[in-house]
């Protein structure tokens, strides 16, 4: 593959896709009670649930410039003509800034950094579209452009059981979190311009799932789509939502279900369910 694609562990690509498309993944990090940081793949959703049960403090950290530079350099040393690095939103993590530093260190002419302005499969779809373009022979600018355009087309929605985890991580204001908890609101949120913003206020999980379905179907439009349903410790609700999406859209939708890892999970909390929609999909033959 003449152009290599690199991402970070919050893309949560479906199993086997990274290997199939030769995507290199740099891990982000998790720390429990201030202990030494652990790479995300080595600290899964089950470990996160155990830490929550024990009331431990879970914090997250982005990839360092050194870690990212190593991945970019290895790709170039492995024969790639260039590298397109697609990472989670700069508004949610310092990873993008670290990636820019790493790109300047390695080779600013051959390493392009793209802000997906999202995370999970909001990031993952951009990564896969870039990898597909690279596989088809696109040059550096074309692969980076594909990633950026795909990011603009995605819609990322999610519902949480409580705003407390987002408050702890500084991803939502304290006043909004306290008010939401006091009113027993199950808020619908979305990633807008790279930030997490409130979308709607609903009072029950059932209503939140219904609205996720309605808004997701609207985002698909009249054509085909790629859809990812994410969750943390809520597999039944996620499968039910995915089943309803498939039922409504039939063969025109490619829908996968996956549990998010600890880095994103630490900020959304148990019971969260999300949907990422990419109209017309990410494959070149879609």
pLDDT score of 115 more than 70:
yes
User: Tens digits of per-residue pLDDT, 47-69?
Assistant: 999 999 999 999 999 999 999 99
pLDDT score of 43 more than 80:
yes
How many residues make up the chain in this entry? 286
**In the predicted model, what is the mean pLDDT of residues 169-177?**
53
CB 49 within 8 Å of CB 233: yes
Between CA 232 and CA 228 the distance in angstroms is 13
Q: Cα–Cα distances in Å, from 233 out to 2, 40, 210, 259, 260?
A: 39, 17, 19, 8, 9
pLDDT score of 215 more than 70:
yes
Check residue 182 and give its pLDDT. 47
Check residue 250 and give its pLDDT. 83
CB 111 within 8 Å of CB 74: no
> Which position has the higher pLDDT, 222 or 213?
213
Check residue 168 and give its pLDDT. 73
**In the predicted model, what is the mean pLDDT of residues 193-214?**
89
Between CA 175 and CA 167 the distance in angstroms is 9
Confidence band, pLDDT 50/70/90 cuts, at residue 178 = very low
pLDDT score of 281 more than 80:
yes
Specify the 3-state DSSP secondary structure of 278.
strand
Between CA 31 and CA 233 the distance in angstroms is 20
Q: Cα–Cα distances in Å, from 235 out to 3, 86, 122, 210, 270?
A: 36, 28, 19, 16, 11
- Its pTM stands at 0.92
Token pair listed for 4: 């290599």
> Which position has the higher pLDDT, 138 or 223?
138
User: Tens digits of per-residue pLDDT, 11-22?
Assistant: 999 889 999 999
| Structural domains in the chain plus CATH codes | 3-28+63-152 (3.40.50.10170), 155-279 (3.30.1180.10)
CB 229 within 8 Å of CB 131: no
Concatenating the DSSP letter of every residue in 70-101 gives: HHHHHHHHTT-SEEEEEES-TTT-SHHHHHHH
Q: Which residues pair with 279 in a beta bridge?
A: 225
């Amino acid at each position: 593959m003449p152009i290599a694609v690199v991402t970070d562990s919050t893309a949560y690509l479906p199993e086997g896709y990274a290997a199939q498309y030769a995507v290199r993944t740099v891990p982000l990090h998790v720390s429990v009670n201030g202990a030494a940081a652990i790479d995300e793949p080595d600290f899964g959703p089950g470990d996160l649930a155990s830490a929550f049960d024990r009331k431990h403090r879970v914090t997250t950290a982005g990839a360092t410039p050194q870690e990212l530079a190593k991945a970019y350099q290895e790709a170039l040393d492995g024969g790639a003509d260039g590298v397109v690095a697609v990472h989670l939103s700069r508004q949610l993590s310092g990873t993008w800034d670290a990636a820019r530093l790493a790109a300047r260190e390695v080779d600013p002419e051959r390493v392009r950094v793209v802000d997906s302005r999202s995370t999970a499969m909001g990031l993952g779809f951009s990564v896969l579209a870039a990898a597909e373009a690279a596989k088809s022979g696109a040059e550096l600018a074309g692969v980076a452009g594909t990633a950026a355009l795909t990011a603009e087309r995605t819609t990322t929605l999610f519902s949480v059981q409580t705003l407390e985890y987002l408050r702890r991580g500084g991803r939502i204001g304290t006043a909004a979190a306290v008010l939401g908890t006091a009113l027993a609101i199950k808020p619908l949120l979305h990633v807008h311009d790279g930030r997490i913003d409130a979308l709607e206020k609903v009072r029950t999980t059932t209503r939140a799932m219904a609205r996720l379905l309605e808004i997701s179907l609207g985002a698909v439009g009249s054509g085909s789509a790629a859809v990812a349903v994410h969750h943390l410790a809520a597999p039944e609700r996620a499968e039910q939502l995915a089943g309803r999406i498939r039922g409504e859209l039939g063969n025109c939708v490619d829908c996968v279900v996956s549990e998010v890892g600890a880095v994103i999970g630490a900020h959304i909390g148990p019971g969260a369910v999300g949907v990422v929609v990419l109209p017309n999909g990410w494959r070149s033959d879609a």
